[in-house]
Copies of this chain bind each other. A is one copy, B any other.
Amino acid sequence: MAQKVTPMGEDFSRWYTDVVKMAQLAEHAPVKGCMVIRPYGFALWENMRDRLDRMIKATGHENAYFPMLIPESFLQKEADHVEGFAPECAVVTHGGGKKLEENLVLRPTSETIIYHMYAKWVMSYRDLPILINQWANVFRWEMRPRLFLRTMEFLWQEGHTAHRNEEEAEEETRLALNMYREFAEGTLAMPVIVGEKSETERFAGAVRTYCIEAMMRDGRALQAGTSHMLGQNFAKAFDLSFQDQDGENRFAWNTSWGVSTRLVGAVVMTHGDDNGLILPPKIAPHQVVIVPIYRSDDERAGVLELAGRIMKEAGETVRIRLDDRDQYKPGWKFAEWEQKGVPLRIEIGPKDVEKGHVVFTRRLDREKEFVPAGEAAALLPKRLDEIQKTLFDRALAFRDDHMKEIDDYEQFKAEVGDGGFFLAHWDGTVETEAKIKEDTKATIRCIPWELGEGEGKCMVTGKRSKQRVVIARAY
């Protein structure tokens, strides 16, 4: 804990890795590209997962579990899908001591196996819609892994739905995206831009891909969630059809949508600072930590007595922890809990006991507040709400400060390396998008639903553009 994190300004990438490791969120596993999510990181993920799970269920979806092993031939049934995913697959060729007749891939995503099963379950329009979600581990071979952001194995949820017609499927795709927006902004305190992906960035096999894009503190974009309108592509590949009310046989319409442990990385890079992690109260494993300060045994008894009282009063409403470890000094504990991003610290020393107050210190700006001891517990939920809101406001202000309209390509090329989101006109062609990427490593993050209104001329080709798009370098 004595160790300090590399300052953001010095090397953002090292700052990120330092924070993830020192806060004990995760570390590299022996197999390249895999990670171990440590208890503190997993508690954070559990809080995220449980909140999102409630939202998924509240919108009428049920959880299920589909097998991880997918026959190689399944992947090949949808042409775009196999092209996109086959190069990233891990392949099981042997099992039970024998070579397999057909190779099995570790799911990179589960469209194929799931729609194969739906085809068995759906006969009539009465069996639709199917609204299922699963929480699972998935595998995509990674050449340049980074903890949480790009790992060979990651944890995620994937919603998979089947509908009677295009309208319903489109509505579902947007419902999922809006749920992600609400989750990102309301729970993770992370502002996002919602919109549609360009053809180049679309999910392999989808008709349209919608996404939420967040800005990290180095100005780069991070795709935080996607929702795919799959049309009838998979339904046709897996013969997922149904007899409609009019007696006709029709193919179903599918959607799929997912977010992953990548969001842990997004939270780190949205809120963190040079002292380490800063966690939004709604997902923090410990929302409040009490650090007692004492020298003598007498002082210790008085301080712990008061701390115990606050623990008891607050324990039902907030996730609070008393750090009564004797082997560490208060200053050491302050630094540790700051690195771990605990939103609010309560300091209690002998003088505080005497005066009948305690000291609240917010992690986000170290602002201190003296609070009468008897009111401390009752005040905590309010202070945590304020912190949650302040984190969102601060992240939103940061993003808006680093986002601007731009019309000149030369200027864009000069500035894009410094990070930030650029709202620019684009002629809508794959060629222009490829040129931008080639010239600058930046990509079209999305065609936003808001913020981009109004026609104009493509900053690269001068051709007609329907609206501005968001361009940035991305994770």
- Give A residues with C-beta under 8 Å from B: 29-31, 34-39, 41-43, 45-46, 62-71, 74, 86-97, 103-104, 106, 113, 116-117, 126, 132, 136-137, 139, 141, 143, 152-153, 155, 327
Contact = CB atoms under 8 A, between A and B. Distances in A.
A252 B446 CA distance: 52
Given A36-B117, A91-B94, A96-B88, A31 B104 contact: yes
8 nearest A-B residue pairs (beta carbon): A96-B141, A34-B67, A39-B62, A37-B65, A91-B94, A90-B95, A29-B67, A93-B93
Given A90-B94, A137-B68, A74 B37 contact: no
Nearest to A137: B68
A106 B96 CA distance: 12
Contacts of A152: 69, 95
A54 to B, nearest CB: 12
Given A31-B104, A92-B91, A66 B36 contact: yes
Most chain B beta-carbon neighbours within 10 Å: one of A36, A152, A327: A36
Contact of A93 (B65, B94, B139): B94
Nearest to A104: B31
A65 B155 contact: yes
Copies of this chain, complex-wide, total 2
Contacts of A66: 29, 36-37
Contacts of A132: 39
A69 B94 CA distance: 14
A38 to B, nearest CB: 6
A95 B95 CA distance: 16
Contacts of A104: 31, 90
A400 B90 CA distance: 50
Given A68-B153, A90-B104, A91-B95, 15 more contacts: A31-B69, A31-B71, A36-B65, A36-B66, A36-B67, A42-B64, A43-B63, A86-B97, A88-B96, A89-B95, A90-B94, A91-B94, A92-B92, A92-B93, A92-B106
Contacts of A89: 95-96
Most chain B beta-carbon neighbours within 10 Å: one of A39, A93, A97: A39
Nearest to A69: B31
A108 to B, nearest CB: 11
Contact of A43 (B35, B62, B126, B153): B62
A63 B46 contact: yes
27 contacts: A29-B113, A30-B71, A30-B74, A31-B67, A31-B70, A31-B71, A34-B67, A36-B64, A36-B67, A36-B117, A37-B66, A41-B64, A42-B62, A65-B155, A68-B139, A69-B153, A88-B96, A90-B94, A91-B94, A91-B95, A92-B93, A94-B103, A95-B152, A96-B143, A97-B141, A136-B137, A137-B137
